[in-house]
Structure 1
Amino acid sequence: MTIKEAKVSDPSWHLSENSEELTCTELEFSLMRSYEAFGRWQAECLASVSDSVVTGPENALLHLVRMNNRAKSIKELARLTNRDDIANIQYSMRKLCTEGLVEKCGSGRTGVTYHATDKGVAVTDEYSALRKKLLIEQLESQRQFSEKLVEAAKTLNTLSGIYEEATRIAALHRR
């Protein structure tokens, strides 16, 4: 059902009392579905080039660790992913270390960082090549899709800020 086809009085959309709320609700459900599809894509693409079994978010952490070929701390990874579940990030990093994809450097005193191992670099290179073949080439075949992606990225970044502010406000309304 498209937004235009949906009726505001549709009882299945308890979150929506008018067309603006319906549009927002449809976007939120689209974001959830996209997030889950993206996570499955990341995990499956990595599994296609490696014997490592990691989730989509763990795959994202691997690529962020490799980004700019510079080691990253847990704090940096949390900031880059807009996550606050530090314990889960730490667990994921231990898992990536066990898989031999990243290596932990430093200590509590000097600061712990993580960098991609040779295996991690090879796997992320293979992932990149498969991603290009299966995803990027398909996206490039879409008419004006590059421009749409740029606009979508800007919109999603704006929404991230709006949701962050709404989260701060919601925290004030806790019972």
Structure 2
Amino acid sequence: MSDSQNAIVSSSHLVSPRSAEMSELEFGLIVSWNAFSRWAVRCMAAAGVPDLTITDVLVLHHINHRARNKKLADVCFVLNYEDTHVVNYALKKLVSAGLAQGDKVGKEVFYSPTPRGEEVVANYRQVREKCLIDSVDGDMNTHIGELARFLRLMSGMYDQAARAASSL
């Protein structure tokens, strides 16, 4: 257990004597998210598309995922976006850039990558392998997997806390 006086946090006024570690985790999430966002946007720029936001990059990757067409609701659900307008804007931007296409089926629009979108994602993967994966020590993979599972667990805790806060 860390001492709340020595905790590395961004908001000392939120540090709880019951869990200084939660504040440390939150600070870690903030700086990790910002570093990841910067990385993903710059990796996409190196892959040939410099004008995308982190949301655009994540949406492009998701519509490429498993070569299945995705509805707006599917993308929002999997990426845990509550604001469909943000994701809808990203989809329109990707369509406009020629990286995605929307096919109307009944009342729904299903999105998929264009050949150019697939090419960009393949380029992204090459940049990712060279700049990120090459620096990962294979011994780290077990810890990375454990951390990924822990972050998904924490995501559920934060989602539940958000629902609880909405009812106050």
How far residue 153 of structure 1 moved from its aligned partner, in angstroms, is 0.6
Amino acid at match of 1:155: F
* Residue of structure 1 in register with 2:69 after alignment: 71
User: Contact 1:78 / 1:89 at 8 angstroms: preserved in 2?
Assistant: yes
Deviations 1:64-91 (A, max 9, x none): 0000111100000001101111011100
1:52, distance to aligned residue in structure 2 (A): 4.3
Q: Deviations over 1:92-124 (max 9, x none)?
A: 1011111110011115x3410110000000000
Find the aligned partners of 1:36 and 1:42 in 2 and give their Cα distance.
10
- Given the two structures, how large is their TM-score scaled by the length of structure 2? 0.91
> Is structure 2 residue 100 aligned with structure 1 residue 102?
yes
Residue from 135, 138, 147 that aligns with 1:152:
147
Q: Distance in 2 between matches of 1:50 and 1:104?
A: 22
Paired residue for 2:158, among 148, 151, 163?
A: 163
Residues 4 and 138 (structure 1 numbering): CA distance in 2 closer, same or farther, change over 3 Å?
farther
Partner of 2:13: 14
Alignment equivalent of 1:130, drawn from 111, 127, 130:
127
- Contact 1:41–1:56 (CA under 8 A) maintained in structure 2: no
Taking the aligned partners of 1:145 and 1:56, their CA distance within structure 2 comes to 26
Answer yes or no: is the 8 Å Cα contact 2:64–2:118 preserved in 1: yes
How far apart, in 1, do the equivalents of 2:151 and 2:102 lie?
Answer: 32
Distance 1:51 1:17, change over 3 A: closer
Quick check: 2:55–2:87 contact (8 Å CA) kept in 1?
Answer: no
Which residue, 29, 32, 46 being the options, matches 1:31?
29
Count, aligned residues:
165
Runs of 4+ in 1 over 4 A off after TM superposition: none
Partner of 1:87: 85
Structure 2 CA distance for aligned equivalents of residues 7 and 66 of structure 1: 44
Once superposed, what is the RMSD of the aligned Cα atoms? 1.9
Change (3 A) 1:5 1:87: closer
Q: Secondary structure at the match of 1:112?
A: strand
Q: Which runs of 5+ in 2 are unaligned?
A: none
Q: Percent identity, aligned pairs only?
A: 28
